[in-house]
Every structure is written in structure tokens, then in C-alpha cells.
Amino acid sequence: MLTKKGKYGLKALIYLAQMPVGRLAFVNDIAVANNIPKKFLEAILGELRNAGFLLSRKGKDGGYRLAKPATEIKIGHVIRVLDGPLAPIACASRTQYKRCDDCDEVTCQVRHMMLEVRQAMSDLLDNRSLASMRDSANDDLPLIIKLDA
């Protein structure tokens, strides 16, 4: 399940992807626009910066911007950084596999189903870029709003 941290991180990245290339955004502006608690957002943006998704500058003219084009940022990677593995259970994870104590991995039907779920999630999220997510959100706006933009 996507946590608030993951959801807020994606919202912040979409906000930044909508900015003109190279332009910085203030944490407060991102927080207000997306109804995210500022302190929580600051921590999330720090993690995204450390993972190489963002660049930041301190000071009066400071802020955040994407470190690379939105087309190169994959949603699956962002979620893994903020929320951990995509797998719904540990024995289905590729990156943080942990064997269950209560079953036989070979015959456990729950595990086999969760492997399929994890693969389906990975296939979608690892092939969807921030740019496509941003653009699909814009496709959902009413026509009158798009014309004013």
C-alpha cells in the first residue's frame, strides 16, 4: 500500500515537473498547493534529494527542482525510495526478500499470488515516468482550465 509519505512525495514531484525547466519551487508553495504538512514535506524532499531525484539550493532564492528530466524519473523507483519494496509480502520481494516462517515457499499459493501482484505492480510502475503521470493528470483537467494555462 502506498503510504502518505509516498503519496506526498509523488505529489511534490508532479508539482515540480510542472515547473519551467530549471526554476526552483519553495517548500511552502509545494506544501500549500498539495495540502501537505510542511515539516513532513521537508523530510520527504530531503530523501528525494539524497536519492538523486531533486536538486536544492538554500537561502532566500533557494528551493527545489528536478535533478533530471521528468521522462527519466520512474514512479516505481520513487515509491521504493520512499516506501520500500513494492511486494505486498516480504517473501514476494525482489529487493528485500525475507522467508516466511509459516509456509513452504514452493507450495504456498499465497506467495505465488503475491509474486504475480508484485510483478504486475512493477511492470506498471517501473515503466511509467513522472512525465507521463504529470501529463495524464493534465488530461483530466476540464478543457476551460487547460485553455487558461
> What is the reported pLDDT for 102?
86
Residue 147 has pLDDT above 50, yes or no: no
Residue 15, SS3 per DSSP? helix
pLDDT score of 95: 83
Residue predicted with more confidence, 49 or 138? 49
Which helix (H) or strand (E) segment holds residue 27: the answer is helix 27-34
pLDDT of residue 33: 96
CA angle centred on 93, ends 42 and 131, rounded to 5°: 50
pLDDT band at 149 (very low <50, low <70, confident <90, very high): very low
Which of the two residues, 142 and 52, has the higher pLDDT score? 52
pLDDT tens-digit map of 59-112: 888 899 999 999 999 999 999 999 999 988 888 888 888 888 888 888 899 999
Q: Distance (Å, rounded) from C-alpha 125 to C-alpha 87?
A: 12
Q: Grade residue 116 by pLDDT with cuts at 50, 70 and 90.
A: very high
